[in-house]
């Protein structure tokens, strides 16, 4: 799923790095993937077979709009049989603002 | 207290390198802490780093070289008071200017930084793209780097790694360049000469 999300993000943004942590009990899987090739690398792996998992996917793609990224994540999560909820976005909501340093409604840096 | 700023653009391998450093790189008995700065609202990397057993403080939803600069100073002060670390490893966001980070921790009440080093990680596979798109932030990082670490050396042929190093030199950087794999620790032996 993270690979597919990253490849699709790479088609709409300049450069990106997507990360995900999945938990099952006290076990953790931590993976990441750049938007270049969709190769997923793991930092921490599950120590045993797991059942239901919950987790967080962090998608950071420069010059890509929030709504489009959200749609990609939602579609790929659903295709993987996962239910996705989204953290409320903060920072700049201006679709015409492409400043990666922009942090708010008034274009603070 | 020493400060080690692990800098590098988005996806260059900063968190993977810090995990390697926390896994026996520092001399036994050295008290190490980590300050993690994530752009996202949810602390994905912090959760991973906390499994090292070292104290990790996170600053989220902004950048410590601008919007969260005050938060970095306060976090350092609190860490100093509660844990007295010998070295604090700081992971800024990808576009952060490490020189601004260093300036923001000077003259913080209750914190004495006696040495600060900046490492700059570069993802070999996308160096050309990063240089083209983010030349200014990259130059800012290289201008204060104690060492440049060419990471993900498994993703491109050896001759292309030479080209990446030439590219880094071409941006005016004259210090040590190490070729590493942060995920396996390959090539990190010489890093101790630079930061220890």
Sequence-separated (6 or more) residues with CB below 8 Å from residue B74: none
Is the pLDDT confidence value at B114 over 80?
yes
Measured in Å, how far apart are chain B's first and last C-alpha atoms? 13
What mean pLDDT value characterizes chain B? 94
pLDDT at A100: 60
CA distance B141 to B144: 6
Residues of chain B above pLDDT 70, percent: 100
Is the pLDDT confidence value at B109 over 60?
yes
Domains of chain A, residue spans: 2-79
Query: How many domains does chain B contain in total?
Result: 1
B19: phi then psi, degrees, rounded to nearest 5: -60, -40
pLDDT at B76: 94
pLDDT at A69: 93
Counted across chains A and B, CB pairs separated by less than 8 A come out at 75
Q: Using one digit for the tens of pLDDT, what is the confidence trace for A38-96?
A: 999 999 999 999 989 999 999 999 888 889 999 999 999 999 999 999 986 655 656 66
CA distance B53 to B33: 10
B76: Cα within 13 Å, side-chain hemisphere: 30
Closest chain B residue to the Cα of A88, Cα to Cα: B41
pLDDT at B39: 77
| Range of the structural domain that residue B130 is part of | 2-195
pLDDT at B28: 94
Of the pLDDT bands very low, low, confident and very high (cuts 50, 70, 90), residue A108 is: low
Answer with the residue of higher pLDDT: A51 or B180.
B180
Q: Is A26 helix (H, G, I), strand (E, B) or coil?
A: coil
CA distance B60 to B102: 19
Are B61 and A108 within 8 A, CB to CB? no
Is the pLDDT confidence value at A106 over 60?
no
Q: Is A43 helix (H, G, I), strand (E, B) or coil?
A: strand
Nearest to B20 by CA among B149, B157, B154, B174: B149
pLDDT at B67: 75
pLDDT at B35: 97
Q: How far is A16 from chain B (nearest CA, A)?
A: 7
pLDDT at B69: 78
CATH number of the domain residue B113 falls in: 3.40.50.300
pLDDT at B163: 98
**Strand B147-151 and strand B115-123: pairing?**
parallel
Q: What is the ipTM of this complex?
A: 0.87
Q: Using one digit for the tens of pLDDT, what is the confidence trace for B127-144?
A: 999 999 999 999 999 999
Are B40 and A58 within 8 A, CB to CB? yes
Tokens found for residue B60: 């989220």
pLDDT at A98: 64
Q: Using one digit for the tens of pLDDT, what is the confidence trace for B27-79?
A: 999 999 999 998 777 789 999 999 999 999 999 877 888 878 788 999 999 99
Tokens found for residue B94: 């990808």
pLDDT at B42: 79
Looking at B30-157, list the stretches that DSSP marks H as alpha helix, in order from N- to C-terminal side.
Answer: 44-50, 69-83, 98-104, 127-133, 135-143
Are A34 and B66 within 8 A, CB to CB? no
Are B129 and A15 within 8 A, CB to CB? yes
């Amino acid at each position: 799923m993270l690979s597919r999300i990253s490849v699709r993000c790479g088609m709409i943004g300049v450069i990106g790095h997507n990360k995900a942590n999945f938990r099952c009990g006290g076990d953790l899987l931590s993976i990441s993937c750049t938007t270049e090739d969709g190769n997923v690398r793991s930092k921490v792996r599950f120590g045993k077979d797991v059942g239901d998992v919950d987790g967080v996917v962090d998608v950071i793609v420069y010059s890509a709009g929030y709504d489009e990224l959200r749609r990609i994540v939602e579609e790929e999560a659903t295709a993987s049989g996962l239910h996705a909820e989204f953290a409320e976005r903060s920072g700049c909501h201006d679709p015409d603002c492409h400043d990666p340093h922009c942090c708010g409604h008034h274009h603070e840096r | 207290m020493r400060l080690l700023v692990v800098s590098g653009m988005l996806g260059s391998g900063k968190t993977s390198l810090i995990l390697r450093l926390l896994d026996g790189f520092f001399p036994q008995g050295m008290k190490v802490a980590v300050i993690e700065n994530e752009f996202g609202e949810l602390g994905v990397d912090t959760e991973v780093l906390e499994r090292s057993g070292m104290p990790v403080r996170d600053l989220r939803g902004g950048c410590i070289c601008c919007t969260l600069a005050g938060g970095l100073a306060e976090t350092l002060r609190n860490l100093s008071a509660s844990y007295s670390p010998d070295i604090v490893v700081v992971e800024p966001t990808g576009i952060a200017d490490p020189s601004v980070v260093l300036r923001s921790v000077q003259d913080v009440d209750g914190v004495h930084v006696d040495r600060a080093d900046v490492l700059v990680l570069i993802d070999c596979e996308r160096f050309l793209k990063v240089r083209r798109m983010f030349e200014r932030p990259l130059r800012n990082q290289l201008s204060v780097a104690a060492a440049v670490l060419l990471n993900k050396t498994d993703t491109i042929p050896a001759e292309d790694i030479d080209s990446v190093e030439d590219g880094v030199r071409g941006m005016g950087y004259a210090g040590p360049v190490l070729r590493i794999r942060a995920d396996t620790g390959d090539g990190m032996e010489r890093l101790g000469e630079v930061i220890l």
